[in-house]
Amino acid sequence: MGAVFAQDPQLFENTWYLHELTVNSVTYAAPDNEEVSEIPANFISTSSGEGFNTSVCNYASAGDVLYDNTSLSFPQGLSITLIDCNLLENFQFEMHYFQEFFFENDTNPFQYEITSTNNTKILTLTAQDGDVAVYGNQILSLQTNSQNDISIAPNPFNNDLQVLTTVPIKNIMVYNILGGLVYSKKIENVATAVSLNLANLKNGIYFAIVIDNNGNNTIKRLVKK
């Protein structure tokens, strides 16, 4: 039986980057270190069929993906390479991501949903056992974006943080990992240093969109602890 093309073509139009993983009711931020700076996932559609791949240290792939309007499944399961991670945190994350999220659910349907916030798209995959993987079409990094000379510190943060930039900024918006707006600050007099108090937010992963005076957007991942 041939694969049914997904109702939402956005799955195939983007490389998706893992932002957050929840397995067994525990939430893990995607690693961001010298060995693993991103966890991409790709849904592939060709004349020969549908495919999927994702990687941490290892590379997992499926050569057959079945879709309907809101779910997808891997009827033949996923295959994986056998590479050792050098860092323990990456090895442990692979166990959660590959074993607990994908391999324990891979022949059962995953529900998927794509939402959009400005130029950012969020893909949420939910397994039958309730585990959730949240991806975005842009990489969210804890590292400073030197190209735009914008940094946010401290990060992780408790309640207060500061946005520092050499480019005047006019607006800052903070979204939760599902794309919901949780904070917005319009800067009447554009500035290169802005303080934010986010004490009302719950601990977890967020992303900030910083808009400079020229209308350019910079996205930063935030971790509240």
The pLDDT-based confidence of 47 (bands split at 50, 70, 90) is: confident
Which two three-digit tokens encode residue 208? 């900030």
Rounded to whole angstroms, how far apart are CA atoms 93 and 31? 8
Specify the residue for token string 């602890």: 225
DSSP reduced 3-state for 203: coil
Rounded to whole angstroms, how far apart are CA atoms 151 and 157? 13
Between these two residues, 208 and 60, which has the higher pLDDT value? 60
Burial 185-215 (b: 16+ CB within 10 A, else e): eeeeeeeeebebebeebeeebbbbbbbbeee
Which two three-digit tokens encode residue 216? 């350019």
Q: Which residues, listed in sequence order, are joined to residue 7 by a DSSP beta bridge?
A: none
Phi, psi of 31 (to 5 degrees): -60, 150
Taking residues 183-204, report their average pLDDT: 86
Taking residues 50-63, report their average pLDDT: 94
Q: Is the pLDDT of residue 103 over 60?
A: yes
Between these two residues, 140 and 97, which has the higher pLDDT value? 97
Rounded to whole angstroms, how far apart are CA atoms 175 and 187? 18
Task: Write out the DSSP string of 116-185.
Answer: EETTEEEEEEE-TTS-EEEEESS---SS-BTTTTEEEESSSBSSEEEEEEEEEEEEEEEEETTS-EEEEE
Taking residues 43-72, report their average pLDDT: 90
Looking at 7-21, 80-94, 143-157, which range is the least confident one?
143-157
Taking residues 25-35, report their average pLDDT: 87
The pLDDT-based confidence of 25 (bands split at 50, 70, 90) is: confident
pLDDT for the residue numbered 95? 94
DSSP reduced 3-state for 71: strand
Q: What is the model's pTM?
A: 0.69
pLDDT for the residue numbered 147? 47
Report all structural domains of the chain as residue ranges with CATH numbers, in order of start. Answer: 10-136 (2.40.128.270), 150-224 (2.60.40.1220)
Between these two residues, 25 and 191, which has the higher pLDDT value? 25
